[in-house]
Chains A and B, each alone.
Chain A
Amino acid sequence: MLLKTKDLSKKYKNKLAVNKVNLELRRGSFVTLLGTNGAGKSTLINMLVGLKQPTSGEIITGANTKIGVVFQNSVLDPELTVHENLVVRAHQYKSCLLSRINELESQLGLRNFVNQRYGTLSGGQKRRVDIARALLNNPDILFLDEPTTGLDVQTRTAIWKLILKLQKKQQLTILLTTHYLEEANESDYCYVLAHGQIIAAGTTQEIIKQHAENQLHLQTKSPEQLITLLTQLTVSFEQEKCNFLIKPATTKQALQILEVVKPYLAEFSYSPGDISTAFMNITGWEVA
């Protein structure tokens, strides 16, 4: 176990931002922290990295656990070049060798713009430099606080691949907060935070299974026949005139149903349960 929290709480005046959170980070695991805006993600991360003191509860870390943090906003100097920025930060660690900067510059593909001022880089380039900065001290845990927010799809995918590569190659432990739910699909474990509390936890597949149903929509011109067939199959359904909604447990079951009702079908659509639906079902559909 690399990091573990026990009833971690943070109270601001009369608002409980984080409420008795228990989470675990295993070495080499990739953990996602999902939550709506204002759910307490940033407060929780800030406590885990040591920037904020918890009001109660504790954080247990392995001895000499080193951390790296990619903050939501840029924390490098726009007036300095990429290389200058990394050199300044590298010298704030006793053990950090300059060879590490070279290594990271080629590993993260920064070579083409190391001598460009950080402020003139594109969003994706900046993020790569931010990640390089966070990896300077060879951290055991890398915290990423919404690293892909505000980036276009291509850049997001590229950053994403890079993070996964790092995790696999270096056995890096990653804790990521995001509100791009599909990003959670890649993770080993997922915590869903709402109103400062963890309200669901598990692998994404488990969470989807528990909280999002598969949906099979059928449209027919002869509803009576369809009702008869579905009753014979002992499938429960919702009907609205010619439209039927079925929630099959598996895709296989959906196919079996389709096979049987095929002669009477006008249209159909099938959507397997996904993390977005699960997330909405867990955290509620209202806007906070």
Chain B
Amino acid sequence: MYYLVKRNLTLFSRNRARAFFSLLGALITFALYIVFLKQTLKGSLPPINNIQQILDNWQMGGTLAVASITTTLTGLSAVVSDRENNILQDLSLTERSKWQIRLSYLISSVIVGSLLQIILLIFMLAYFIKTDNLSFTWSNLPIILIIILVSSLLGAVCNDLLVNFIKTFATLTQVNLIIGTASGFLVGSYIPLGVAPKAAQLVMKLTPTTYVASLYRSLFVGNTVPTNLRTRFVKDMGIKLEWHNHLLTMPETLSITFTILLAVIIIDYLTQKLNPREA
């Protein structure tokens, strides 16, 4: 299976344009923030000393969450093109089982998602450190790396479920576009979760990756918000998510993320098991 994973990664790396476009959704979020979102948000919030840095950190969380969806979907695009080009048929005639083959795509996708998120993080940090003197808490790095991995896994499994229903590469390209555009809204990167209409908030909270965004934001923003404004701020900005008038703590959000992950894995497994289309 190592060689299948290696194959998928080689194919991905030899198609640079594909790698770039998979980051496009995240990069657009980032660009919009720099161009006007930052100013708009600053104007709508009460005056806080280090608001510049707080918003930068908040923004990074959302952008990484968006990337966890879009990059893993591109990482999985090989499933669709391989199915379309009968490569899956060829592989199924080997001694590898259907599950080993599918798992190889999933693993490649998680690796692609994690690496691209790390590259994106370095890029954003470099930018914000230079422009806004942002300070980065290095002690957070191990847990950030873990969340990068978990978010890539969540993204990959959700997208794996999705690609079961996509037959052609042409359709995948369209779906990619829609997801790239929608994900920024869904994780509350364009409009902060707390100020969105109630119905939109519900949709956002039903998006698995919103919990990942919340984890990132909690880690990046931490306790830098002044105490008197903190509760309101973390709720409005989607740093902590509210369930039945209760603000979820980080361990709670983490448990919910893992529960969603487990549930999607089971649904994905059952979907593939019941799908007679693939040998």
Contacts and interface: CB of A to CB of B under 8 A. Distances in A.
The 6 closest A-B pairs by CB, nearest first: A92-B94, A75-B90, A91-B3, A79-B14, A88-B7, A92-B96
Contacts of A89: 90, 94
Given A91-B3, A92-B3, A93-B95, A77 B90 contact: no
A274 to B, nearest CB: 34
B95 A69 contact: no
A50 B93 contact: yes
Contacts of B10: 79-80, 84
B87 A75 contact: yes
Contacts of A76: 87
B89 A75 contact: yes
B15 A88 contact: no
B279 A87 contact: no
B86 interface: yes
A71 B93 CA distance: 12
The interface residues of chain B, by DSSP majority, are classed as helix
Interface of B: 2-4, 6-7, 10-11, 14-15, 85-87, 89-96, 279
A77 B279 contact: no
B7 A80 contact: yes
Given A69-B90, A71-B90, A92 B4 contact: yes
Nearest to B276: A53
Contacts of A94: 95
Given A50-B279, A79-B15, A88-B7, A93 B86 contact: no
A254 interface: no
Interface in A43-76: 49-51, 67, 69, 71, 73-76
Nearest to B100: A92
B7 to A, nearest CB: 5
Contacts of A133: 90
B11 A80 contact: yes
Interface of A: 49-51, 67, 69, 71, 73-77, 79-80, 84, 87-89, 91-94, 133, 137
8 contacts: A84-B10, A88-B3, A88-B4, A91-B4, A92-B95, A92-B96, A93-B95, A94-B95
A77 B14 CA distance: 11
A91 B91 CA distance: 11
A137 B11 CA distance: 24
A77 B87 contact: yes
A49 B7 contact: no
A82 to B, nearest CB: 14
Nearest to B81: A77
Contacts of B90: 69, 71, 75, 89, 133
Nearest to B7: A88
Nearest to B279: A51
Contacts of B94: 89, 92-93, 137
A93 B85 CA distance: 21
Nearest to B96: A92
Nearest to B15: A79
Nearest to A79: B14
B84 to A, nearest CB: 11
Contact of A71 (B4, B86, B95): B86
A91 B274 CA distance: 28
Which of A76, A80, A91 has the most C-beta atoms of chain B within 10 angstroms of its own C-beta? Answer: A91
